[in-house]
Amino acid sequence: MKDILEMRQKRAALVNQAREILDRAEKEERNLTADEEQQYDRIMNDVEALRKEIERKERLHDAERELNQSLGVIAGGRNQPGANGEPANLRASKEYRDAFWTALKAGRNALTADQYRMLQAPEIKNLVIGTDAAGGYLVPDEFERTLVQKLEEQNVMRQLATVITTASGTREIPVEADYGTASWLGETAQYQESDATFSQVTLSAYKLGTIIKVSEELLNDSAFNIDNYVASAFARRFSKAEEAAFVNGDGSGKPTGVVQSAEEGKVGAAGQTTSVTAEDLFDVYHALRRPYRRNATWLMSDSTAKAVRKLKDNDGQYLWQPGLQAGQPDVLLGRPVAISDDVPAMAAGAKSILFGDFSYYWIADRVGRVMQRLDELYAATGQVGYRMYQRVDGKLILPEAVKYYQNAAS
């Protein structure tokens, strides 16, 4: 960066020289002489050449910085500096990945001294909150991305919601609760004050964990791919628990589900404890304000979807239309339908159908999932345990963005 700074200084000096030529002629109230024009043009050509050279070097510097950050570690196991001398992402390096899977597959005693120091590096430990000293390690970046991808594939709420990653335990989300108004004014009328008002939604970091067991024989099998196996196993368990909380969680030690926070769209008429009508669905649709309808999705359980599929409009046409092409979702009143059996089935008083823009449901992933090998706990049965936990929260930050249909209480 030193050479770029020097070129910037040289360019600034040339610009000042060009300015002095113009200022001198302006002060003397005359045009530039032929010699001055040649000198001015020569200086400005040098200024332009330096600009291009600075841009080339800056692009090269940015590319080298990105490459260094992706590699993370240089030969010898030291952390490669990033921009402004900051440490690069150690978890993204091959060295860290190799050390992590050595510890998980063969145990801590199989690590070299350098590998152990790498796994215990301060920049790694500082990312972990609440980790005990029993051998848990922050998973590599590549494995975490694989795990999150598998979570999204199996978790409908992660597909619909806004997912953010936070490095702190909590995250404050400002929400504009009142947009304010504008007023028509006479020629000399006074402007009316109308301020927007804001509230805050706090996303916490609830801990979700599980243990899987693998036989020692399977671990010793060279054909056994442990990272693929544990990614799939943990993703299945986490996604099931996550979706249940994101949809219907009560906020006590877990995320607050969208069912708990959505606003009323329609309550079924007396006797509709296990049914819904076409008119109910139209009412829910129009209960949602038009700006939210553009990105709105229906969300219901499979048993509710079965009942809704049978509904027809006044012209005898089914409200539910299948997707016309592979990969396209079915649509209801022109909007896509998603299925989650964590949405309550139709029953007395149940909020059985949701309709809204689920991008206003925010999921906050605390950076860094931790995995630990458990050698002794299952040794008697010839197995090795793997414990993993993550920290996550979810909330509907704007309740008016999602409406619900509720079956009659009786």
**Residues 42-86 pLDDT 10s:** 888 888 888 878 777 776 766 555 545 444 433 333 344 444 444
Question: How large is the greatest C-alpha to C-alpha distance in the chain, in angstroms?
Answer: 99
Q: What is the pLDDT of residues 131-173, one digit of tens each?
A: 444 557 888 888 888 888 888 888 999 999 999 888 766 767 7
Look at residue 370 in the predicted model and tell me its pLDDT.
87
Q: Return the closest-CA partner of residue 357 out of 299, 292, 300.
A: 292
Tell me the average pLDDT of the chain.
82
Q: Which amino acid is at 387?
A: R
Cα Rg, the chain, nearest whole Å = 31
Instruction: Please spell the DSSP secondary structure of 254-309, one letter per residue.
Output: SPBPHHHHPEEEEEPPTT-SS---HHHHHHHHHHS-HHHHTT-EEEE-HHHHHHHT
Q: Return the closest-CA partner of residue 262 out of 361, 182, 344.
A: 361
Instruction: Please spell the DSSP secondary structure of 30-67, one letter per residue.
Output: -PPPHHHHHHHHHHHHHHHHHHHHHHHHHHHHHHHHHH
Joined together, the tokens standing for residue 82 give 């990033």
**Residue 363 β-bridge partners:** 163, 394
- pTM of the predicted protein model: 0.70
Look at residue 46 in the predicted model and tell me its pLDDT.
87
Between CA 196 and CA 193 the distance in angstroms is 10
Burial of 188 (0-12, 13-18, 19+ CB in 10 A): exposed
DSSP state of 179: -
Between CA 107 and CA 377 the distance in angstroms is 14
The pairing of beta strand 335-339 with beta strand 331-332: antiparallel
Helix or strand run (H / E) with residue 146: helix 141-154
Look at residue 141 in the predicted model and tell me its pLDDT.
80
Look at residue 249 in the predicted model and tell me its pLDDT.
94
